[in-house]
Amino acid sequence: MKNPVQLGLWLLALTAVGIFGYNVYLRETTPPQRAYTEFLSELRQGAIAKVHIQGQTLTGEDTAGRAFGAFVPDVAALTPLLVEKEVVVTGEQATPSGLADAFKTLLPALLILGGWLIFSKKSFKGDFAAGRDSRFTPIKSERITFADVAGITEAKEELQEIVEFLKNPTKYSRLGGRIPKGVLLQGAPGTGKTLLAKAIAGEASVAFFSMGGSDFVEIFAGVGASRVRELFAEAKKSAPCLIFIDEIDAIGGRRSGGQNSGASDEREQTLNALLVEMDGFDSEETIIMIAATNRPDILDPALLRPGRFDRQITISLPDVKGRLKILEVHAQKIVAAPELNLAAIARSIPGFSGAEIANLVNEAALTAAKRNKDAVEMTDFEEAKDKIVMGLARKSVVVSEKDRRLTAYHEAGHAIVGLMLEETDPLHKITIIPRGRAMGLTQQVALDERLTYSREYLLNRIAILMGGRAAEELVFNRLTTGASNDIVQATEIASRLSCEWGMSSVLGPIAYRTSGDGFLGESGQIKPYSEMIARRIDQEIKHLIGDCYDQAAELLKKHNRFLHKFAEALLLNETMDAEEVDLVYRSYLKERELERILTENGGKNDSINTNEQTEVFP
């Protein structure tokens, strides 16, 4: 019997039959049990004919010929009474039943062995009932090509060469070149790493093996390494082919250097097997391995060396042009209104990944369907974007008029400081409708992609964040918890400006903290420095935030009338976009210009043309 699964099934079946038979045997051969007190009463009455004693177990017959059994706690005290009543007594020394005890001992072992054979075989081979010997078979799904991938042009161009390797390997090997063995796709979640791998297989029209890193890890020792060997054995049979391992950091993490727990030891065996198999590629076996991760910092160096993952491609978040192309791809799947402006949508979602853009389009379509529309419009995209960025509108929350007014002045403070400072992002939308955990939100969106940030921009950003708290203190002369998130963000910017970006005039161009790439999900690492430097860092952060707060407060005092006008407009409309804010701002500028002309004319307004549109910037 060569199949371990069949062996395990036979063992379990024989064990079940044995248990059943043993229970039947015991039931048929074991006489009914009587209580010891009942036995003594019958013995004294002379109703017992014979007994057999083995240890403290007693079996016998009464004068009516009925068999029985009983447990005797004190055999020595019972013997004289048996002699006195002239009962026929036989006995033997208490010895364990070899067969019964052996069966009881072997039963758990047989059950464990049978279960292990079945479940480990299923883990190794997948669905054994289907009669296949391998769980690794090429994926057959809808063909995906590079036409389905948008927004990552540079990565597509780099991977086009991999497609050529798979299609025509001799073109490159004829001059002595070696086909790359592996390509590591690294980038933030949702940037399209898995989609790219499928597109490579679709473009090259080759077999595609896809596994997740966690699929190699099991509770049984050696399973992961065995799966790796089996995967590569199947891939060699299907060459040319593509092997894709998603989230490879699950098995490819840095090894611990001899201090292993059981789990890490199993993971390292799996990694060692993977390293060996990647080295075992034959030049004639056109097999290319692609792996994806958003944690390249924790991968083992042996995995990243040339000869294993020869190419390492970083998939970045799409810029505005990339976001537009991704929107165009996904917009083809929905019924879009003719006036839908995808370029405006792309500009309003900086930092969105490809997966988030796909989710945005889907949410917009669902929103339009919920409103019984015939096509998806801009308002649906705006609602979907607000839901994703800010959370669901909490329309059921009862907000007092006092809190609404406080929130309106708080958000107006953010917006006005942003309008009055020069190097800032334009205002996109402002709302006092509670969404998610926030009571209101002021959203600014850059017109162009920012790859670097100036010191002035960062300080202005801190001033804008402080504008809400400054407005609360200026108008209501009180402080609330509404500015908690603003303070956290402002402190983070001031800390990185001083300790990481070297923009502090006091600390100088020295980095006291380092941070990884954005997709690593790690906070900065603190470098060792003295207590004196720590005090200077604390003082500099406090100084930066304090100066920005004072700047925001001065701007709001200077434009106090605009603050009240803006807040009242927010209380009336609840949500305002850039155009509506611009109307309020122009109205404020016109009032200021009228006041200036009145002041110059000594209070006479005969020469004032109220229909004249004047633009005077403070």
What is the maximal distance between C-alpha atoms in the chain?
A: 144
Helices 531-558/560-573 angle, 10° precision: 80
Is residue 411 annotated as a catalytic residue, yes or no?
yes
Question: What are the tokens at 173?
Answer: 């090997």
* DSSP conformational letter for 144: -
Are residues 52 and 91 in contact, defined by beta-carbon separation less than 8 angstroms?
Answer: yes
**Contact partners, residue 513, CB within 8 Å, separation at least 6:** 495, 496, 499, 500, 524, 525, 526, 527
Helix (H, G, I), strand (E, B) or coil at 440: coil
Detail the DSSP E strand segments found in 112-250.
182-187, 207-212, 241-246
Concatenate the DSSP letters of all residues of 28-91 into one string: HHSPPB--HHHHHHHHHTT-EEEEEEETTEEEEEETT--EEEEE-S-HHHHHHHHHHTT-EEEE
**Contact partners, residue 169, CB within 8 Å, separation at least 6:** 179, 240, 286
Regarding beta strands 207-212 and 241-246, do their DSSP bridges make them parallel or antiparallel, or are they unpaired? parallel
Are residues 127 and 119 in contact, defined by beta-carbon separation less than 8 angstroms?
Answer: no
**Contact partners, residue 120, CB within 8 Å, separation at least 6:** 4, 220, 223
- Choosing from 383, 411, 472, 540, which is the catalytic residue? 411
- Three-class secondary structure assignment of 276-308: HHHHCCCCCCCEEEEEEECCHHHECHHHHCCCC
Regarding beta strands 57-62 and 88-92, do their DSSP bridges make them parallel or antiparallel, or are they unpaired? unpaired
* Edge-first strand listing for the sheet containing 67-71: 67-71, 57-62, 48-54, 88-92
Question: What are the tokens at 14?
Answer: 């024989």
Regarding beta strands 287-293 and 241-246, do their DSSP bridges make them parallel or antiparallel, or are they unpaired? parallel
Which residues are part of the catalytic machinery? 411
